[in-house]
Chain A
Amino acid sequence: MAERFLVEAVNDALHVEMERDPSVLVMGEDVGRLGGVFRATVGLQERFGADRCVDTPLAEAGILGTAVGLCMAGWRPVCEMQYDAFSYPALDQLINHVGRYRWRTRGTMSFPLTIRMPYGGGVRAPELHDDSPETYYVHTPGVKVAIPSTPADAKGLLAAAIRDLDPVVVLEPKLHYRTTKEDVPEGEHVVPLGEARVVREGSELTIVAYGAMVHVAEHAADALDGEASCEVLDLRSLKPLDEDALFASVARTGRAVVVQEAPRVCGFAAEVAAVLAEKAIFDLRGPVVRVTGYDVPYPYWQIEDAYMPSVERVVDAARRALAA
């Protein structure tokens, strides 16, 4: 074990996986010489050369589009999108090709590419450096999505994504890139996709969260200590979704609050609520309550805290769920 920040765990995973598999290639804007604007790729170009850690032109659709071709030539590209909202120009390639090409070849070609990007708000950044775009990715057939909340999971989920034969999008909570150091296993460390993690056990309410919102959920559970026993479930993968973990938790607690940072409409919390309504409604003793961002453009950073799901809002939602 080594104590690492989340972004250092990402960097560690990239080193380990590039060492392990010579077909892994990192590409993106400023990932080589600079080591990435968040330093997630620092040291890779020195270690593996400019052909395997590639500074690309500033063109996200070009990055993802050429990555499709690189897969066809036998590479496993790991594409960095510099920021969440900068990934939107690449959605064309993602939807039209990345998610479809395997199907288009009737399974004869695989597209084992990984897209990783810092996501989310709370970092006092200019416009379009704060988005939570997971729904666009989860909604795209053929694409898997993982979102770590801890350094160890950041390493393990990224390793799983790189090794997966399907394209995987990994969203890294940039707010927590350098908040706390935690123990991260050294060497190879894989957290399988599709396995949620019970962060803390409880008996009266499940708070479902992923990414940066796991920390908010934990603080809310602390705040409710003595008032209600809260379980916190970190989904870790949005697709595949660990439905069994969700059902098992709700079977224990009978109530659920789902927290997401993204705007509410058709967000992932809606999917969780729908799955619970369809398949676990008889375990529920009250409505599933969502705590989300609002249906507005991500706000000016001086008032961004009002947008972000806060401990107070989660506690408020938990009380409503418990009272119903």
Chain B
Amino acid sequence: MSRVLPAEGGLRRVIGDGEAIPDGEVAGLGQDDLLQLYRNLVLLRTYDERSVIYHRQGRIGTYAIFWNHEAMQAGSAFALEDRDWIFPSYRESAIGLLRGIPASTILSWWRGHPSGWWSPAEHNVASICVPIGTHVPHAVGFAWGSRLKGEDRVAIAYFGDGATSEGAVHEGATFAGVTKAPVVLFCNNNQWAISTPLSEQTAAPTLADKAIGYGMPGVRVDGGDVLAVFEATRDAVLRARAGDGPTFIEAVTYRAAPHATADDPSIYIDRERVEEERENECVGRYERYLVRLGVLTDSQAEETKQEALAVMRAGIAEAEAERSADVGLVFEHAYADPPPSQAHDLAELRRILGHG
């Protein structure tokens, strides 16, 4: 396992198709775990679908859609302990739901309200990273620094296929390899960076192949198979905890929704391929698996969806009930010890705004 080899050729899968491909199972996951994983998937799916509606209703701003990325997020996060840190990109904006960050907080982030900027140490979820791939070195530094302090914490950084072209990902992965940081580099390869297909992003046969250059194992997994994602991440986390260093996971899917609410993929995307993907989307796949297994009934599934919907309705109501932020927050928190000019600027602004 600690030997570095070219990435596995095929995609790891656990969930079958109910016909020719048989279902597998993951050792160590009981019925309660399987159902918790289902609730996590449904919560993320509901968050995403409701957010697109809220955007259309003008209740949140521009929103980065993660429809059909839920298996990658829920599956990998389920392999972590609460003390482990998550470093999300904007595509994983709602992953903190799985750590207890309220839906209202994340919705507030998309509403541009200060209450959406959470305290990372409260839930061990770093701030949402917008500039592509630049948080990968943060996750690596955190994991490395935690190990130096003798703490048993693993970090996971999420980024897309486009991010693998960024220098920050390369430098972060280089540091991870050299320092043997207990970190998981999780690439959700949805094969599109807005309108740029993977074939124009890299000439590498697979993204996981890049791992060999960093001296770490590269693993490829079906990004629509929540159990395969969980299993691959659990292996990587165990490796990290054992002191064997980082792992690069490439989870492969196909982007079946726009990049964000402002995007029009009909200009560039393969619509037939999108349809195929939508029919085989990750939440339905897992749901059918659980039904075949006899773990989930239709009424349980419906109940889970209604619960998630209630979370979102309460979340948006709470976010909308936030009082408008004081302009003092324009200045506050920029410095621990601000230059004297800030107090002057704020006083002047308040005077002009008539705040006294």
A contact set with B: CB distance below 8 Å: 25, 51, 56-57, 59, 61-62, 64-75, 89, 92-93, 96-97, 101-110, 141-142, 144, 164-166, 194, 239-241, 243
Contacts and interface: CB of A to CB of B under 8 A. Distances in A.
Residue from B114, B167, B171, B179 having most chain A Cβ neighbours under 10 A: B171
Contacts of A165: 336-337
Given A104-B117, A109-B121, A240-B339, A59 B175 contact: yes
A243 to B, nearest CB: 7
A93 B134 contact: yes
B145 A74 contact: yes
30 contacts: A56-B178, A57-B175, A65-B134, A66-B175, A69-B137, A69-B138, A69-B140, A70-B141, A70-B145, A72-B142, A92-B131, A92-B134, A102-B336, A103-B334, A105-B117, A105-B120, A105-B333, A106-B114, A106-B119, A107-B332, A108-B119, A109-B120, A110-B336, A142-B335, A144-B335, A165-B336, A165-B337, A166-B336, A240-B340, A241-B341
Contacts of B137: 61-62, 64-66, 68-69, 93
A194 B337 CA distance: 11
Interface in B88-146: 114, 117-122, 126-127, 131, 134-146
B172 interface: yes
A295 to B, nearest CB: 27
Contact of A103 (B85, B138, B146, B333): B333
B120 A72 contact: yes
A93 B336 contact: no
A295 B331 CA distance: 33
For chain B, give the interface size range: 35 or more
B168 interface: yes
B136 to A, nearest CB: 7
Contact of B335 (A57, A71, A75, A166): A166
Contacts of B174: 57, 59, 62
Nearest to B145: A73
A61 B168 contact: yes
Contacts of A243: 340-341
Nearest to B116: A106
B126 A107 contact: no
B120 A69 contact: no
B323 interface: no
B120 A108 contact: yes
Interface string B154-183: 010000000000011001101100110000
Nearest to B136: A65
Contacts of B120: 72, 105, 108-109
Contacts of B138: 65-66, 68-69, 72, 97
8 interchain residue pairs of minimum CB distance: A69-B141, A65-B137, A73-B145, A62-B171, A66-B141, A165-B336, A107-B333, A69-B142
B355 interface: no
Contacts of A68: 137-138, 141
A73 B137 CA distance: 13
